[in-house]
Each structure stands twice: as C-alpha cells, then as structure tokens.
A and B are shown apart, each in its own frame.
Chain A
Amino acid sequence: MKDIKHNWWKLLGIILLVYVIIGGLLFEVPEMPVIRQSIRNIYFHVGMWFGMLFILFAGMVFSIRYLLNNRPDDDMKALAAVKTGLFFGVIGLVTGMIWARFTWGSFWVNDPKLNGAVLGILTYLAYILLRASVDEQDKRARLAAVYNVFAFVLYFVFIMILPRTATASIHPGIDGNPALATGDLAPEMQKVFYPAMAAWFIIAWWLFTLNFRSDRLHRKITDYADITKENDNG
C-alpha cells in the first residue's frame, strides 16, 4: 500500500504510455499528403524533445540550488538530469531521422530545428567532458553547475529565437513550438497527443530518479571501498 502511495505517478505514467501506444498506432489520424501514416510519429518524437527540455530545465534548477547551498546531492541530481536529457535527445534525433527518411527522403537535411537538436547534444556532451576533467569533487561540482546554468539559458534562447528568424524550415511547426500552437493539431490527434506529452514527462522524471539513485549508490560503494582500503593500509 505504501508503495502505491509514493509511486502512484509511475503507475499513471505506465497507464498513459500504454494508452498512447495503442491509441497512437490505432486511432484515426487526418489523411495528409506525403506525411500519411507517419504523422503518428508526433506522439513519440515530439515527446522526446519536450521530455529532454523538461528534464534539462530541472537539471538547471538543481545546478542553481547547488550554487546557492552547496549540497552534493543537488550536483548529482543535475548530472542525472543531464544524462537523462542526453538519452532523450539522442532518441529524439533517431526517431526524427527515421521519420525524415520516409517523409523527406533522406536521414538528414540542413534545417535550423535539426541543427538545434545536435547543438543541444554537443552542449551537454561538453558538460560531461568538463566533469571528467576535474578531480576535486567540490571544484567539479561548482564549475559544472556554472556551465550548466550558462549553457541551458543560452541554449533555450537559441531554440526559441533561431527557428523563428530562419527563412526556410521544412520541419513541421514553423512558428516556434511544433505542435503546441493552437489549431496546428487536428482535434482527433489532441486526445492522444496531450496524454502522450504527460506520459513522457513522467517517464523522463522516473528515468532521472533511477539515474540519480544508481549514481548515489555507485558513489557510496566507491567511498566505502576507499575507506576500507585506507583501513587496510593503516
């Protein structure tokens, strides 16, 4: 019983996702030229993108919290969020590329939205590399937190501004936020789309907590190993 009380949201996520998979693959979708049935990708591909932004935003909040009160847990949470965000980013890219292959005829086109996605992945790979280049825990946490805040804000500004100023984008959703603009999405798709987004947010958060807990356990084990080694030597 206690489990349900604490973890009801995971159950909700699973139920929503099962609904999205069934509904997303079987429900009616509008008949559109070229895109045809591949329009169903929107429930999954766009979800990866929103999930990534959501969890990266959470990561920035943890980094700010770390800078304000220096709790090591906040730093580990920021790292876990970035890892989860990268995971979602890569899957979003792959689902987009498969869709592009069948709709545009090639895996990759030079388009501001696609380039923006790659830029995000590069930014956060750099974050991981930065962490790997510092040995002292405290210094690593501080430098990484500063970079994370700087990077997220600049990245967010970039994806908000650039697609709007670019003259040509063949990616759906020209006016900035794909699929969220009212009237952009057919009503019969909205009843799957909104639950899908909710489901992906929940899954992103769930994955993030798993990442964080596994990192924390890993650190406990290495700390413990260090202590016992010291005792053996002493």
Chain B
Amino acid sequence: MSSNKVFALLRKEFTLEWRQKFAIGGVLLYLVSAVFLAYLAFDGMIPLNTWNALYWLIMLFAAMNAILKSFIQEHDSRQMYYYSLVSARDYIGAKILYNALLMIVLGLTGLVVFFAFMGNPLNSPWIFLANMIFGMLGFAAVLTLVSAIASRVRNSFTLMAVLGFPLVLPLLLLLIRVSAASIKGAGFLSVAPDLLIIALLVLISLVLSMLLFPYIWRE
C-alpha cells in the first residue's frame, strides 16, 4: 500500500464530490428531513433513550445512502482505468478513508440538527464524540465492502440494506450503549471497555475489507 496513491485517490474523491454537489446535498437533505420527520412524528416530546436510538438509526440509514453511491457512481470503464493505475488495497483504503470522513461530517451535521430540533441531552459530550468517530469509521469499514458487493448486482439498494444490516448491527448496538452512557454522563473509565471492543470491531472490519476486496475487483 502506498500512501501517495491513497492520497491521490482521496483527493480525487473530494474533487468528484465538489463537482457534483447535488450528491452530498441529497444526503444532507435526507438527514435533515429524517430528523424533522422524527421530530413531528414524536410530537416534539422525545425521551432520552429515544433521542439516542433515533440518532443512530437515522445515521445508519444516511450511511447506507452515502456509502452505496461510492461504487455505483463509478462507471465500469473508469474502474478499469483505476485498476490499471493502483492496487486494489490502495483503492479500497482510499474509499474507506473517504467514506469515514464523509460519515464524520454527516454525524456532526446530524448532531447539530438534532440539537436544533430536539435539544442537547449530552452530559459527556467528549465521550459521545469519540464514540461517534469510532462508529463512523466502523460504518465506513463495513459498508464500503458491502457497497462494493451490492453495486455489482441487480437491485443494489435492497441488497445493500439486507447485506449491511446484520453486519453493522453488532457495532450499532455497542455504539448505542456507549452513547446512552454519554447521555447519562458516564465517566471515561466506565465506557473504556466498550470503546475498546468497538475499536477492535473496527480494526477487524478494516483488515477483512482490505483482504477481501481484491477478489471482488478482479473482473
């Protein structure tokens, strides 16, 4: 893996995103609408654990949307071009990194929108933030590979959800637990074991994605 190539690919992703602002705009609008919808559906009265569950569910759906397009938008011929330039590991590495950054931006935006509509229940914001960053890395690590699989078959969108849900669920449950603790105002030491397990899950997903992606790309 060469950091030069990963960096070049990363820059390409940012440039692409900048040129087609409607794509990221779409995901952001989706996020805001979903939060607003939840706000209206709950009639403005939102208990703390519901706040927590809603945040992560909406982030999960936004992640599915945002990450699925990372492979669908690339045409076959362009993929051939990348294939001749960089190794599969550089390519998936850059994709995961980019998706993780994108998801962190979405997570922060989501947080702001949540604060605006439903108030700020966080008692340990730094734990929430650390947890969120781990979580977004994990979403990116798992869902990028799933999106690589789903983009190659019929009805990609359904398949993305069906394949992705069971795989991110363990991570999601842990994230929801830690973030519930951060709402209650837990100390860092009490959530450290959970954060460690989350980090472990993220690491395993990353290694697996790196190992397995070359087999998908070989067409």
Contact = CB atoms under 8 A, between A and B. Distances in A.
B184 interface: no
Given A133-B155, A143-B216, A157-B201, A149 B166 contact: no
A147 B149 contact: yes
A139 B151 CA distance: 12
Contacts of B162: 126, 129-130
Interface residue tally of chain A, by bracket? 20 to 34
B153 interface: yes
Given A133-B153, A142-B215, A162 B165 contact: no
Contacts of A129: 159, 162
B13 interface: no
A146 interface: yes
Nearest to B148: A146
B67 interface: no
A147 B165 contact: no
A146 B212 contact: yes
Interface in B187-211: 193-194, 197, 200-201, 204-205, 208-209
Interface string A154-176: 11011001100100000000000
B170 A149 contact: no
B219 interface: yes
Contacts, number: 81
B153 A157 contact: no
Contacts of B173: 162
A149 B153 contact: no
Nearest to B165: A122
A154 B215 contact: no
B170 A162 contact: yes
Give the dominant DSSP class at B's interface: helix
B116 interface: no
B101 interface: no
A39 B149 CA distance: 44
B219 to A, nearest CB: 7
A154 B167 contact: yes
B216 A146 contact: yes
A20 interface: no
A119 B169 contact: yes
B163 to A, nearest CB: 5
Given A165-B193, A165-B194, A157 B170 contact: yes
Interface of A: 67, 119, 122-123, 126, 129-130, 133-134, 139, 142-143, 145-147, 149-151, 153-155, 157-158, 161-162, 165
Interface of B: 142, 145-146, 149, 152-155, 159, 162-163, 165-167, 169-170, 173-174, 193-194, 197, 200-201, 204-205, 208-209, 212, 215-216, 218-219
